[in-house]
Amino acid sequence: MVLAERLLTTRHGVSFHSCLMECIGNQELVANYDRLNGTNLCQNGSGLEVAIDMACGRQESEYRDFIEFCWEYIFTRLGS
């Protein structure tokens, strides 16, 4: 399923879009995701390091992986 379709998906009255926004806004979740996966979604480091991550596509790849994590481990497990 493509991202646009997922964003419109609703489960137990909650859309994936709103679930994803809550996940992104939860600094503790993002920081622990970074810690466990070796990613840098919190954009820690110097401006140069962050710019290099953006230029080489690492940041975009990490965002896609985080969205997949939110879909698989949070959204699809909402409710009973």
What pTM, to 2 d.p., does this model score?
0.87
State residue 72's pLDDT score: 96
* Beta strand spans in 1-80 (E): 10-11, 14-15
- Token pair in block for residue 17: 């879009």
* pLDDT tens, residue by residue, 29-70: 999 999 999 999 999 989 999 899 889 999 999 999 999 999
Compute the distance between CA of residue 14 and CA of residue 16 in angstroms, rounded to an integer.
Answer: 7
- Token pair in block for residue 79: 């409710």
Domain map (residue ranges) of the chain: 16-75
